[in-house]
Amino acid sequence: MRYLPFLLLALLLTSCAVHPKKPFDTSIIPAAPNYAELRHWAAHPDITDLADRTPQGLTDEQKTSEVDVFFLYPTTYTGSKRSEKYWNADVNDPKVNKKTDESSILFQASIFNGAGRVYAPRYRQAHLHVFFTKKDTASARAALDVAYADVKAAFQYYLEHWNKGRPFIIAGHSQGARHAMLLIRELIENKPLEQQLVAGYIVGWPVQNNFYTQLKPCATPEETGCFCTWRTWERKYGLRNAFQPEVVCTNPLTWNCTEGQYAEKAFNTGAVIRPFNTLRPQVTDAEVYKGILLANKPKFPGSILLVKKNYHIGDLNLYYLNVRENAQARAKVFLQRPK
């Protein structure tokens, strides 16, 4: 039963029973975060946080790293009867922050502490309902705009006060990947900052193959100044229902976008599901197919309860060690470039 939280979180992605009942209202938006205050960062090199943790056998390298990681967490705001009027999370809400930290910051942001110093801003994330509503799309867009404005402000504050010309990785999952995708296009692509970009990990959000004019998908495991992106589906279901040929997809076991190049589970060096300190190699395989990542049903204790065909919740965790090692490799190559 210790694996049940993982499975319940997967079910949460399709459940929005508690959601804002009225249209988006600018007069009741939670107060904007102040990024000069470290309490408005879920992860930061100057605080002790769950992004500092590592599974057994791995080491947190943040203190000696010459690279930074700007990480954007996915949706953890699902509302409550008390706050269902809000389309955006309050960054001072202890329940939302606890959920964020004990899920995404621990299980996802920690992936990158082997490659760089991890910065993860708290932001007024849009309610989960924005991805399911078919009626109030204007409110959904407005809520996402508020969230993105925070992300942009956080990145600009990071650049002005802490970056000091250091190379950086941009990483995000789901809603966080959506914001990362926009951030890269607006502030990094075709700008001087592009010279500092080690790589982007835009995971769990569809990136159209024409979204960027200059930035290219990574074609090799050690290429820099590029981006990786994938969305994971159960193989048989994905073949029949989920493909989107116009979307970019990276294989996190081979680190290219080659269609039909099957990577067997032997290439999977370690997933992290629960408990956090345990690496589980060879949990599943990977293959790029028409814009999505196909994977056979993961095998881990308790996986018999996993019936969902969309493995979105595990996009990063099913390939935890592969992503970690890849980020480290790209950072190393970037740092070895001629000055």
The 10s digit of each residue's pLDDT in 274-311 is 899 999 999 999 999 999 999 999 999 888 888 899 99
Stretches where the chain sits below pLDDT 70 are 1-17, 81-83
> Is 311 part of any domain?
no
Cite the DSSP H helix spans in 126-277.
137-158, 175-183, 235-237
- Residue holding tokens 């407005």? 142
Domain housing 212: 4-234+322-335
> Is 159 part of any domain?
yes
> Is 303 part of any domain?
no
Contacts of 265 (CB under 8 A, 6+ apart): 282, 283, 284, 285, 296
Angstrom distance (rounded) from CA 243 to CA 232: 11
Residues in the chain: 339
> Is 290 part of any domain?
no
> Is 164 part of any domain?
yes
Give the tens place of pLDDT for each residue, 132-141.
888 889 999 9
What letter would DSSP give residue 119?
E
Q: For the chain, what is the domain count?
A: 1
> Is 307 part of any domain?
no
> Is 184 part of any domain?
yes
234 token code pair = 């159960």
What letter would DSSP give residue 131?
G
* CATH number of the domain that residue 151 is part of: 3.40.50
Residue 27: its pLDDT value, please?
85
Residue 17: its pLDDT value, please?
57
Kindly report the three-state secondary structure assignment for every residue of 166-206.
CCEEEEEECHHHHHHHHHHHHHHCCCHHHHHEEEEEEECCC
> Is 298 part of any domain?
no
- 311 half-sphere exposure, CB direction, 13 A CA radius: 30
